[in-house]
Structure 1
Amino acid sequence: MAGENNGSPKLHEVKPRENVGRETIARYQAQFRGAAFECLSLLEDETLDRVYCDYQDDFVSRLNVDGNYIYNFFQVKTKGKLNYQWSVNDVLGIRKGAKTCEPAKITDSYVGKLLIHTIRFENSCGSVIFLTNVHLNDDLEGLRDAIEGDSDNNYYKLLLQNFNDALTPESPIEDKNIIERIKKLQLKSNISYLNPYDDKFFTEARETIYQYSEIDLQRSECEEILNSLIFLVERKSFAKLLEEIAEEDLDDIAGVSLAEMLDILSISKAAYQSLRDGGDSQAIKSASIIHRLMSKAGASERMIEFVSDCKVRWDIWFRDKRHTIPEFDLNFILEEIENNAAEWAKFGENLTVLRGRIDKVLSDLDDEDLSANLDRELLLGAVFSFLVRGNA
């Protein structure tokens, strides 16, 4: 009778038919983490202008190089057992110690599916990258070394010999062009932040954000930001796409842009653009520092943008005037500005106090030429130019 089994066996005591669902979720989490980490590079690399999620491959980064688009294609493949080592057969379909191979297996392999991008996208394909959280075995490392250099390797020779039959049988290409395409392949292993249950993702991402923007995040802030980023990547990955789609629609539906990264980090897009247009080579860092300081002072987005514009004006003025104003006068005014800026930031004063400090500096100017050249907006820009340098 049903009542006589005493609730046995329990759920965990019976081996499940399959764990495909959990494995699929883990694979997607790794893919999202890989794409999210690439999105962080939007903060640093001016040539990188968009990351596409789950389109053409697990994710694709687009670089704008002198007006031409270059695409890097990424495949993320993870293993739950961290001591696993990928083999040449795993990723390329060539058996250990083989003297020959089947082109069809190369076609269907992970590497084959990456290398096909070098054919389909020709010169607009920059790199094709295999990312994994575990190691490569010795044979696969040997193949990687041969691709990166000119070392002798049997698996490399087999790939070269079978490239046309596997990937472009209808339009064979010359050996030198095959080599150029194979050289675009990168095998990147032991990437710990791909592990879906590993906190190293948050640690490494936090360090990366700080490196690119000088934003020093608390752990809770970091997790909130990165969870928002992963959610954005996930949404972009699962958004429905039409078979034929315009570039602008693709950018919006599947692509992550710098503007979206600035939103996630609460950095003013207008302030960033003003600083960048003004020639600030570290516009992300400058914008994030100004945003942090001004937010603490209770400033609005409009005021943050205004201050950024003032900093740009000051930087231009200083480059132009520093050699025409007597050094004695210039150094004294700089000393006054820097002292007031440092005290304002140190004591966490509001904007009204800062305004009073700037008015006093301006009223204390003895030199008529200097007072005629400077106004409150330039001095406000000077304050934040100093504060940005001091924080960077």
Structure 2
Amino acid sequence: MTSIEIVAPGEDVGRDTVSRFDMQFQAGAFAALQILEGTGIDCVYCDFHDDFVVRRQVDGKTLYHFFQVKTKKKLNHQWSLAEIFALRKRGQQKDGASLKNVRASFGGKLLMHAVVFDEACYEATLLSNVHFDDDVVDAVEALRCQLPSCKASKFLSENFSAIFSLCDDDSGKASAFLSKLSLRPAVHYIGQEREAFANASRTAIYKYSEIDLDFYETERIANGLVDLAYRKSRTSLQGVAPADIAGRVGIELDDLLEILSISRGAYDALQRGVEEKVLKQASVIQRWLKHAGARDDMIEFASQQKVNWDLWLRNARHTYSPMDLSLLLDRIDGLYARWAQSGEGFAFLNTLLTALSAEPEIQAFEGLDRGMLFGAVSAVVVRRYSR
């Protein structure tokens, strides 16, 4: 009897298609990590209007960056003018069918976003795991500089209104529309396997938040990010109100915090504080207390008390002598060390905090109660684990 494994299938395009879609999800998930930086990017739409769209808030305005992801299995492939713009190097025609092909090309579809969204579209990018031919690079660079010098850029500039059927009011914006097109060739963070994505994600997470992941955390989070992009891309929008679309198909901060195992309550509490690197602090406190068996409400309480302690300490530096504060900080460090070495749970920590808060030397500091001292211990944990 013939075994299925020894007979080659008639075609194997399905496996390649799955790999290409996975790379699209990797690219979208990687872009979403920029949300952690907290510099305006607040949402990445998955498979909505394009492969993914990055939303940015700038001076009260909502702007969009559109991405198409085009990949090749053969890594030495270079995308040609014909593949990107449906343009010939020689003998390019200007008839209706030829212009229609340009509009339907990869580059044409991206440029259509610039036309439709106008000022709301700040960039439209073709992203790939391989390189682009020099003719494509030269054309896009010339268009971005609004100085069409090569044959392809001149053709697109001179025929832009006809290609996209612009009205007279928009025809004067052709150069501005064309300048929004960009390329990202041979990006290092997407691949047929997820190893490159995982490594790049670990680096990006550390860059944006200073959270340093171990091997197993990296693998778990990387897979979680790609799977999240997949789920968002597959979500149906039938009957969904426009105001609810971002929550359905967009990756937002809450989604990333869930994958990073950071509670939103702890994050929000720390964000009200006076120190930077909120995500790193939230991660440290979350890991510390989870390991000790704490519930989410204790984690949020610790985060809020850490903020209260930071604010108290900042003001105390203007009120109390450096010697008194130094002795106080030494006592708190000693308390944490004693508790950590004991291996006991929170009951023992509470006993230590209660005893410390009752000491006359501690009561001499105004407002320094047991809860505030718990925040001080949380600050010690953040400092030690952040080295």
TM-score bracket, normalised by the shorter chain, equals 0.7 to 0.9
1:117 corresponds to: 113
Q: 3-state DSSP class of the match of 2:122?
A: strand
After superposition, the Cα gap between the structure-2 partners of 1:375 and 1:55, relative to the gap in structure 1 and judged at 3 Å, is: same
Aligned Cα RMSD in Å? 2.8
Structure 2 distance, partners of 1:254, 1:8, is 39
Structure 1, residues 128-169: CA drift from partner, whole Å, max 9, x if none? 111100011222222343345467433222222122111243
Q: 3-state DSSP class of the match of 1:51?
A: strand
TM-score scaled by structure 2?
0.88
- Asked whether the equivalents of residues 62 and 72 of structure 1 are also in contact (C-alpha less than 8 Å), the reply is yes
State the 1:127 CA deviation. Answer: 1.5
Structure 1, residues 7-27: CA drift from partner, whole Å, max 9, x if none? 899522x7x2x4442332222
1:373 corresponds to: 367
2:378 corresponds to: 384
2:207 corresponds to: 211
Which range is displaced more, 123-132 or 140-149? 140-149
**Letter paired with 1:154:** K
Structure 2 distance, partners of 1:245, 1:8, is 45
Structure 2 distance, partners of 1:376, 1:114, is 58
Q: Which of 154, 165, 178 is equivalent to 1:157?
A: 154
Structure 1, residues 18-71: CA drift from partner, whole Å, max 9, x if none? 444233222211111111112222222342222111111111121233443211
Q: Which of 23, 48, 72 is equivalent to 1:55?
A: 48
The yes-or-no answer on 1:333 pairing with 2:344 is no
Unaligned runs of 5+ in 1: none
**Letter paired with 1:246:** A
Structure 2 distance, partners of 1:345, 1:201, is 36
**Letter paired with 1:163:** F
- Asked whether the equivalents of residues 127 and 185 of structure 1 are also in contact (C-alpha less than 8 Å), the reply is yes
Structure 2 distance, partners of 1:219, 1:21, is 31
State the 1:83 CA deviation. Answer: 0.4
The residue correspondences of 1:268-279 to structure 2 (distance < 5 A) are: 268-279=263-274
After superposition, the Cα gap between the structure-2 partners of 1:9 and 1:22, relative to the gap in structure 1 and judged at 3 Å, is: closer
The residue correspondences of 1:291-302 to structure 2 (distance < 5 A) are: 291-302=286-297
After superposition, the Cα gap between the structure-2 partners of 1:191 and 1:223, relative to the gap in structure 1 and judged at 3 Å, is: same
The yes-or-no answer on 1:69 pairing with 2:62 is yes
The yes-or-no answer on 1:169 pairing with 2:166 is yes
Which range is displaced more, 146-155 or 270-279? 146-155
2:7 corresponds to: 11
The residue correspondences of 1:237-276 to structure 2 (distance < 5 A) are: 237-242=233-238, 245-276=240-271
The yes-or-no answer on 1:35 pairing with 2:28 is yes
Q: 3-state DSSP class of the match of 2:245?
A: helix
Structure 2 distance, partners of 1:179, 1:350, is 66
The yes-or-no answer on 1:287 pairing with 2:278 is no
The yes-or-no answer on 1:350 pairing with 2:345 is yes
The residue correspondences of 1:112-151 to structure 2 (distance < 5 A) are: 112-149=108-145
TM-score scaled by structure 1?
0.87
State the 1:210 CA deviation. Answer: 3.1
Which range is displaced more, 65-74 or 359-368? 359-368
State the 1:103 CA deviation. Answer: 2.9
Structure 2 distance, partners of 1:247, 1:197, is 35
